[in-house]
Amino acid sequence: MSAPTATMPETVISEAAVRSAVAADLHAAPISALSASLAFAWRAMLKIKHVPMQLFDVTVFPVMFVLLFTYLFGGALAGSTSEYLQDLLPGILVMTVTMITIYTGMGLNTDLEKGIFDRFRSMRVWRPAVLVGMLMADAVRYTAASIVVLTLGFVLGFRADGSAFGVLMAIGLLLVFCFAMSWLWIVLGLKAQTAESVMQMSMTILFPLTFASNVFVDPSTMPGWVQGFVKVNPITQLTDASRALMHGTEVGSSVIWALLWSAGFLVVFAPMAMRLYNAER
């Protein structure tokens, strides 16, 4: 045996103490869907508190993306980095935060392998609360990432010509979209066998979405069929909306399209996710 027995203090379980703890005879009171979701959001926030490394992706990635793309492409594409940044930053914000959403699915997949979900599922609590709470905590992460991107952008010379309200609206829209799209990652997280395969599938979806968009370059130089894809791509719509809101220009239909895409993701994938969550495992 490995541990020396002598140094271990005796654990005392007093039957009287256990009995009085049980005899308190406390009964559960029903809680609202919102309170349940908030409790699960709190659980997710505690995990971040205990493992702050989880914030790596919402701090380091955004910084990396902004710096890399601004200085690699800026001179070539827009003549100067500060010029490019005005156009790039709203897009890079969309791209960065969208990229971060894939951790939702991976985290869930890892969680599922443990027994804790059995306990939650055998309790009289609004069932989607586990997932909604998780997404609520993610919204905090996304907000943190947005702040990092914007702060760095302002330092590097980004100037939002619109109002502060416009900037907030852009972030709000992005959060709505990410919340909706995360249900897709939840579906993958619930279906996949391993966290690695969740990662691979998510990347396969996200890479074309983020790069085949108008985030980096003007799509007018692309071949027609690519342009067709770029035009309907929700990332393009979000980027358009984000640029317009931040710079105070005409938003056109982009906000509507971004919201429609969000609704689409939610309507298709949220019920699917709940079916998978409720399914036997």
Q: Which is nearer to another protein, 46 or 260 (CB)?
A: 46
* 43-49 LR contacts (CB < 8 Å, sep 24+): 43/133, 43/137, 44/133, 44/134, 44/136, 44/137, 44/138, 45/137, 45/140, 48/137, 48/141
Say how far apart CA 233 and CA 91 lie, in whole Å: 13
* Stretch of 35-43, 87-95, 150-158, 198-206 contacting another protein, by CB under 8 A: 35-43
Q: Which is nearer to another protein, 125 or 273 (CB)?
A: 125
How far apart are CB 126 and another protein at their closest, in Å?
10
* Stretch of 38-46, 56-64, 149-157, 242-250 contacting another protein, by CB under 8 A: 38-46
How far apart are CB 159 and another protein at their closest, in Å?
42
Binding to another protein in span 49-68, by CB under 8 A: 50-51
In the list 6, 53, 76, 124, the residue contacting another protein (rule: CB under 8 A) is 124
Q: Which is nearer to another protein, 122 or 221 (CB)?
A: 122
In the list 6, 27, 52, 224, the residue contacting another protein (rule: CB under 8 A) is 27
What's the sign of the alpha-carbon dihedral 211, 252, 263, 110? positive
For another protein, how many residues bind (rule: CB under 8 A)? 48
* Stretch of 7-15, 160-168, 179-187, 260-268 contacting another protein, by CB under 8 A: 7-15
Q: Which is nearer to another protein, 134 or 174 (CB)?
A: 134
In the list 33, 34, 35, 231, the residue contacting another protein (rule: CB under 8 A) is 35
Q: Which is nearer to another protein, 51 or 64 (CB)?
A: 51
Determine, following the binding rule CB under 8 A, whether residue 34 of this chain makes contact with another protein: no
Interface pattern 84-123 for another protein (x via CB under 8 A): ------------------------------xxx-xxxxxx
The one-letter code for the residue type at 87 is D
Contact set with another protein (CB under 8 A) = 1-3, 5, 8-9, 11-15, 17-31, 35-36, 39, 42-43, 46-47, 50-51, 114-116, 118-125, 280-281
